[in-house]
Amino acid sequence: MKIQLSIAIKPIPHQSVRMTRAGRAYQPKKIVDYKNELRRLVGEQLPMGFSAIKAGTPIHINKLHYVFEYPKSFPKYKRKSTNTIYKVTKPDLHDNLNKALFDALEGVVWEMDQNVVSINDMKKYYSDTNQIILEIEC
């Protein structure tokens, strides 16, 4: 089974939990809202009657692209370039961006994110719009 998703949202890195003065851990509201919006957008793209990929099923991610909108400071000649302009600044590709996405998709696309066994094509780069492009195979 193949699932292709194009999620029109700005990729946001997952932050560590914060602690209150009383010692309670909590997630920042920005992260909670981001994950809820991801779940909603992905749920709209999944086929009717789709149920999450069962635990124990190996999941291969063939394509995972985090696309960021060009900063306003980018000159127009760079935007018109035919070459891909990779994002070499923060956030970290492997840890922070993936954690937020994988946690949000847990229970919607797959039961457990630990079943992701390979990621073949993972990139972060600039384009005209913010989005996450995802191709899953199991």
For residue range 78-137, list pLDDT tens digits in order: 888 778 888 888 887 777 888 889 999 999 999 998 999 999 999 999 999 999 999 999
Tracing tokens 């909590």 back to the chain, one arrives at 26
∠ Cα 60 70 124 (to 5°): 20
Write down all domains in the chain, each with its CATH number in brackets: 2-137 (3.30.1330.70)
| Euclidean distance between CA atoms 110 and 98, whole angstroms | 14
- Residue 13: asked if its preceding bond is cis (omega within 30°), the reply is no
Crossing angle of the two packed helices 98-105 and 29-45, in degrees rounded to 10: 60
| Euclidean distance between CA atoms 12 and 131, whole angstroms | 11
